[in-house]
Amino acid sequence: MTKPLRTTSMLAPVMLRGDLPRDVATSYWSTRHAEKVRKLPHLIEYNQRHFSTDDHGYWPASTGVGTAIPPQWRLDGCAEIRFRSAIAVPATAAHAREVYLDEQNVFARVLTQPTAPGGGRWWTTGFDDTCHHHVALLLRRRRGVRTSAFREFVHGRMAPSLLDAGARDLRSYVFLPWTRLSDVSPGVGHHNPVEHRYHGAVLFGTDSRAAVNELLRNSAVAVLVADQHAVLTAVHAYSLERSVPVIRANSNS
């Protein structure tokens, strides 16, 4: 099994503005907004993950674990960021005023979810262009389960099981407890109700959408699904209609 690289990372799930045509909003996000983010210091990698509007909610269900995504809380994508170090997080934020002010031009809601230092696991050194389909799994921890047990499930079981089943371009994340203080952009919603809150995520790539279905039928995934109820209350799967690697990690990162 590949030994993962520990990272200090952040995912920022977003909802696009509903008063803009979707193609206009996604185009702005991937061009004009991306150029503002590209100027920020201390970032090793920044990817935009644009979620499909209709291909989602297909993770295998089990008792007590929800997989259907509520229409009133369907996300449009997420930003995925890897920092050079833990101290780079506040240093980057100090230079991000232009980015924060620009978010109101495209987003209705931004929900920043940082990891602890070393709280991410990257199983590859950078964006994999050979993957023609990507999936984002957003995870909700069962109340009463210790964070350490959740972390072990995400990094120690879920990611390795998906890797064994054939996933590529694999990344797993466990978030710090959500706080409103992480979101400072004006003119954008940041309310993150506890019943909709996520505590971790796994992103991976495959050759095709059909390969995702094959992966989900793998015996390693079946064993994982059989046990997921002990740790999780939700696994919300989104196919990505587009991944935009704005800042790419190099092999020495």
Q: Which amino acid, residue 236? A: H
Please give the backbone phi and psi of residue 163, each rounded to the nearest 5 degrees, phi first. Answer: -65, -45
Q: pLDDT category, 251, cuts 50, 70, 90? A: very low
Q: Give the pLDDT confidence score for residue 2 in this predicted structure.
A: 65
Among 171, 186, 169, 199, residue whose Cα is nearest residue 81: 171
Answer yes or no: is pLDDT of 126 > 90: no
State the Cα–Cα distance between residues 44 and 84, nearest whole angstrom: 6
On whether the CB atoms of residues 216 and 158 are closer than 8 A, the answer is no
- Percentage of the chain modeled with pLDDT above 90: 91
Beta-carbon count within 10 A of 179 CB: 10
pLDDT of residue 250: 66
**Residue whose token pair is 């193609």:** 23
Reported pTM: 0.95
Torsional sign, CA 135, 14, 92, 90: negative
Q: DSSP string spanning 190-230?
A: ----GGG---EEEEEEES-HHHHHHHHTSHHHHHHHHHGGG
Percent of the chain at pLDDT above 70? 98
Does residue 222 carry a pLDDT above 50? Answer: yes
Please check the confidence at residue 252 and state whether its pLDDT lies above 80: no
What pLDDT, on a 0 to 100 scale, did the predictor assign at position 184? 86
* C-beta of residue 116 within 8 angstroms of C-beta of residue 179: no
How far is 174 from 149, CA to CA, in rounded Å? 11
Per-residue pLDDT tens over the stretch 163-177: 999 999 999 999 999
- Please name each of the domains of the chain with its CATH number: 5-247 (3.30.70.100)
pLDDT band for position 21 (cuts 50, 70, 90): very high
Instruction: Answer yes or no: is pLDDT of 162 > 60.
Output: yes
Tens of pLDDT along 101-118? 999 999 999 999 999 999
Q: Minimal CA–CA distance to 17: which of 30, 28, 1?
A: 28
pLDDT higher than threshold 50 for residue 187 = yes
Average pLDDT, the chain: 94
Residues 6+ apart with CB under 8 A from 188: 103, 104, 107, 108, 109, 110
**Of the ranges 36-40, 128-132, 229-233, which one carries the lowest mean pLDDT score?**
128-132
SS3 state of residue 19: coil
End-to-end CA distance of the chain, in Å?
21
Q: Tell me the pLDDT band of 75, cut-offs 50, 70 and 90.
A: very high
